[in-house]
Amino acid sequence: MTEYALITGASKGIGKSIALLLAKAGYNLLLVARSEKDLQELSALLQKEYGIQTACLPADLSENGAAEKVADWCSSYTSELSILINSAGYGVWGVFTELPLSDQMNMLQLNINAVVELTYHLLPLLKQQKQAYILNISSTAAYQALPSFSLYAASKTFILNYSRAIRYELQHSSVSVSCLCPGPTDTAFASRAGLDAFADLAEKFNMLPEEVAQSGLKGMFSKKAEIIPGFMNKISSFFAGHLPKALVERVGAGLYSR
């Protein structure tokens, strides 16, 4: 197989699990994350285990202009990009007015702007393929307003609606767009968000990143619009969309309040 997949946030969590599964399926990989050391270790492992071609680019996609640089690097490396996985992202937990604005804007730059910019710059290349796929990673938080996680949840709502909209716009092209909306997952997300105090609660609901990745790729290749892995996540997302919003917000605030 000569096809390539580009994965952001590839060094850890769901992104890393997706990289492992695509490598096993024979895809060559372009890997992007902040940690050069982690990328090099993953790259060496994938080449040894699966005999695929890999290339790494250490990059912080929250920096202005970084997404365009990644797109240029990808386009110069291969003309056979058929999969784009936008997995890089993180959350900031706390009351909106009590968190540094710079931290929150950095999160929005990564969770929203980087996804939009990278997709925009790579769509011309993806459209050249006989069949291509985009998988954007959102969250079950996309289905509700979430006090103490206000901008994170809002950013994931944006990703879900953005994915559905461009999916419709691209319906007559060779590019299929899907959105993966996982719930709590056993990754470093909670620690980076400052949610260590909720570790015991999260363990009761966490899915393994391998399970989430498998569900996401299965849905992507089946050209599903939205993918919610896990029965409990499907149930919670359903109720979040059908119960009174004030009730849903009160429950969410109770779960994540300090």
pLDDT, tens only, 158-206: 999 999 999 999 999 999 999 999 998 776 555 544 555 455 555 556 8
Which of 81, 56, 150, 159 lies closest to 113, judged by CA? 159
User: What CATH homologous superfamily does 4-256 map to?
Assistant: NAD(P)-binding Rossmann-like Domain (3.40.50.720)
pLDDT of residue 242: 78
Which carries the bigger pLDDT value, residue 79 or residue 258? 79
Is residue 240 over pLDDT 80?
no
What is the rounded distance in angstroms from the CA atom of residue 29 to the CA atom of residue 22?
Answer: 8
* Per-residue pLDDT tens digits for 129-153: 999 999 999 999 999 999 999 999 9
Sequence ranges of the domains in the chain: 4-256
pLDDT of residue 189: 52
Burial of 146-156, coded b for 16+ CB within 10 Å and e otherwise, reads bbbbbbbbbbb
Q: Is 202 helix (H, G, I), strand (E, B) or coil?
A: helix
Mean pLDDT of 111-139: 98
* Per-residue pLDDT tens digits for 11-34: 999 999 999 999 999 999 999 999
Mean pLDDT of 197-220: 80
CB 52 within 8 A of CB 46: yes
CB 169 within 8 A of CB 126: no
